[in-house]
Amino acid sequence: MRQTTGIALEELTVLVTGSQRGLGLALVHELSARGTRVYAGHRSAGVPAELDLPGVTPVFMELGATPLPRLPDVDYVVNNAGINRNTPLDSPQATQVLDEELRTNVLGTLNLIHHYLPRLAGRPAAGFVNIISALAIDPNYFCATYSASKAALHSLCVSLRQVAGDKGFHVLNVYPTAIDTRLTDGLAIPKLAPAEVARAIVDAWSAGDCELFFQ
C-alpha cells in the first residue's frame, strides 16, 4: 500500500529513537549513508561512539521522560525504541512486566507522537515511521506480554494512519520478524540481520509506502 509519492530522504531531518544499538543503530547508519540528517535518540550514559557519523547528532532522550527534546527541524520521527522482557503469560511477573512494556512501547510512543504531530501535520513528506512487530499479529508464547504490547501499538499506529489521511502527513508501519539484536538474545530462532531490515525500511519509506511486512 502506498500513501504518497516518492520521498527524498536526503533533503529531510529525521529523529530515530532507540538508536544506540540494534535496528535503531542500523537505521542511523543507513540514513547517514544516504545523506539524511539524523538526530540519534539514545539513553546511554555517554554518547555511543557508533553514532559518530556524518550528519548525525546524538540526543539523549527517555521515552517516558518529560520534557522531550525540542527539535524544531524534525521532518520524520522513527518510533523504534522499545523493550522486551521475554515473559510468557503464565509467569508470576506477567502483570508487572506487561505494565512496564506498555508504558515504554505504547505510552512512550504515543507521547512522542503527540509531541511532534502538530508540527508534522499538513506535510506529505513528513510524518512517522513506526517499528511494530510481526508479533503484534502472530503472538509468541515465550514473549506473550511483549506481543500484547506490540498488538496495542499496532492498533494505535493503524489509527495514526487514519489521522494522517485527514491531516495530510505520511505514516509507515513496519512489522519485522525476529531481528538479531539484544532483544532476541538466547532465542534459538531464525533472525534477520539489522542492516538488512534497515535497508528494506528505508527503501519502502523512500517509495512512500505505508506498510512493510517481513516474512
CATH number, domain at 67? 3.40.50.720
Cell readout for 212 is: 512493510
pLDDT interval class at 108 (50, 70, 90): very high
Q: Please state, as a whole number, how many other Cβ atoms lie within 10 Å of the Cβ of residue 17.
A: 26
Domain-located, residue 68: yes
Residue 78 burial (10 A CB sphere; 0-12, 13-18, 19+):
buried
Domain-located, residue 193: yes
Residue 22: the pLDDT is 94
Domain-located, residue 1: no
- What is the residue-averaged pLDDT of the chain? 93
Do 171 and 186 form a contact (C-beta atoms < 8 A)? no
Range of the domain at 84: 9-213
pLDDT interval class at 1 (50, 70, 90): low
Q: What three-state secondary structure class fits 13?
A: strand
Residue 2: the pLDDT is 65
Residue 170: the pLDDT is 97
Do 13 and 73 form a contact (C-beta atoms < 8 A)? yes
For residue 67, whether the previous peptide bond is cis, meaning omega lies within 30 degrees of 0, is: yes
CA–CA separation, 158 vs 65, rounded Å? 25
In which residue are the cell numbers 544516504 written?
34
**156-213 pLDDT, tens per residue?**
999 999 999 999 999 999 999 999 877 776 667 789 999 999 999 999 999 999 999 9
Q: How far is CA 157 from CA 97, 163, 175, in A?
A: 22, 10, 11
Domain-located, residue 2: no
Domain-located, residue 4: no
Closest by CA position to 126, among listed 75, 73, 72: 75
The winner for highest mean pLDDT among 2-16, 97-111, 172-186 is 97-111
Domain-located, residue 19: yes
Residue 190: the pLDDT is 85
Single-letter residue type at 17: T
Three-state SS sequence of 55-110 = CEEEEECCCCCCCCCCCCCCCEEEECCCCCCCCCCCCCCHHHHHHHHHHHHHHHHH
What DSSP state is assigned to residue 19?
Answer: T
Instruction: Answer yes or no: is pLDDT of 116 > 70.
Output: yes
CA–CA separation, 15 vs 42, rounded Å? 11
Domain-located, residue 174: yes
**26-61 pLDDT, tens per residue?**
999 999 999 999 999 999 888 889 999 999 999 999
CA–CA separation, 3 vs 127, rounded Å? 12
Domain-located, residue 183: yes
Number of domains composing the chain: 1
Global pTM value: 0.95
CA–CA separation, 50 vs 74, rounded Å? 21
Percent of the chain past pLDDT 90, that is, above it, reads 83
